Amino acid sequence: MVDVTRSPISLEGLDLAALVASRVCHDVISPVGAIVNGLELMEDGADASTTELALDLIRKSAKTASARLQFCRIAFGAAGSAGSAIDTRDAQTVATNFLTDDRTSVDWHVPAAYLPKNRVKLLLNMLMLAAGGIPRGGVIKVEATGEGDETGFLVTVTGLNARIPPHAVDLLAGIPSNEQGTIDAHAIQPYYTGVLARAASMSLSIEKIDDYVVLKAV
């Protein structure tokens, strides 16, 4: 339930941009740091086995960094000029590469189509929020509802101890999660998801139903 006793969050454009940039950097800095560590191992005159381990670390980390950057380019970036549409097949590719690992898979059921930019950005941010609800991994099922200008999205998450991410309900509605009424880089993603929903003139909800977490945008 939304905490209606707190005033809505009000962010200037520069503050919103700074917080989103901080969130993107947070997602990318870990694999980039691992690449640096691998290069340092090789520079220290490591033996053949250590060099191979370092190369494997660099390969995997470079792949992870690339996947995260490509995802963030669409989910947070301009991804084309104002008013442009985005191919849902591109969204599927970046989402699958970003979210799929040994514990988590994406079950995609959105037909190929060009949809308004903010609507596709909203979908990707819904998936990012959904992944935060299954810290031990699981399945993220993505479906389209409606057609054409009425296209919406249904994201169903299953996994061990699936839950609604902390403060997500308030933040999606633009309400701060603390008494001070402030927001930080950790909380900016669900808040930004709500901003995208309102920009796309869509209603967004998240709820726990039995063992599922369900996100719906209509």
User: pLDDT 10s digit of each residue in the chain, 218 long?
Assistant: 444 445 667 777 898 999 999 999 988 999 999 999 888 888 876 678 888 888 999 999 999 999 999 999 999 987 654 558 899 999 999 999 999 999 999 999 999 999 999 999 999 999 999 999 998 999 999 999 988 778 999 999 999 889 999 889 989 988 877 666 678 888 899 999 999 999 999 999 999 988 899 999 99
Alpha-carbon distance 169 to 208, whole Å? Answer: 11
The pLDDT score that the predictor gives to residue 82 is 53
pLDDT for the residue numbered 189: 93
Its pTM stands at 0.89
Give CA–CA dist 196/11, Å, rounded. Answer: 14
Give me the pLDDT at residue 42, please: 83
Check residue 7 and give its pLDDT: 60
Judge residue 84's burial from the number of C-beta atoms within 10 Å of its C-beta, 0-12 exposed, 13-18 middle, 19 or more buried. exposed
What is the rounded CA–CA span in Å between residue 18 and residue 184?
A: 10
DSSP strand pairing (104-109 vs 138-145)? parallel
At 83 the pLDDT is 58
pLDDT for 112 equals 94
What pLDDT score was predicted for residue 79? 64
The CATH-assigned architecture of domain 13-217 is 2-Layer Sandwich (3.30)
Question: Got the DSSP string for the chain?
Answer: ---TTSPPP---HHHHHHHHHHHHHHHHHHHHHHHHHHHHHHHTT--HHHHHHHHHHHHHHHHHHHHHHHHHHHHTS--SSTT-EEEHHHHHHHHHHHH-SSSEEEEEE--S-EEEHHHHHHHHHHHHHHHTT-TT-EEEEEEEES-GGG-EEEEEEEETT--PPTTHHHHHTT--SSTT----TTTHHHHHHHHHHHHTT--EEEEEETTEEEEEE-
Query: d(Cα 91, Cα 100) in Å, to the nearest integer?
Result: 14
DSSP bridge pairs for 208: 213
pLDDT in tens, 14-53: 989 999 999 999 889 999 999 998 888 888 766 788 888 8
Q: Please, which residues have CB within 8 angstroms of residue 158's CB and are 6 or more apart in sequence?
A: 134, 138, 139, 141, 211, 212
pLDDT of residue 150: 85
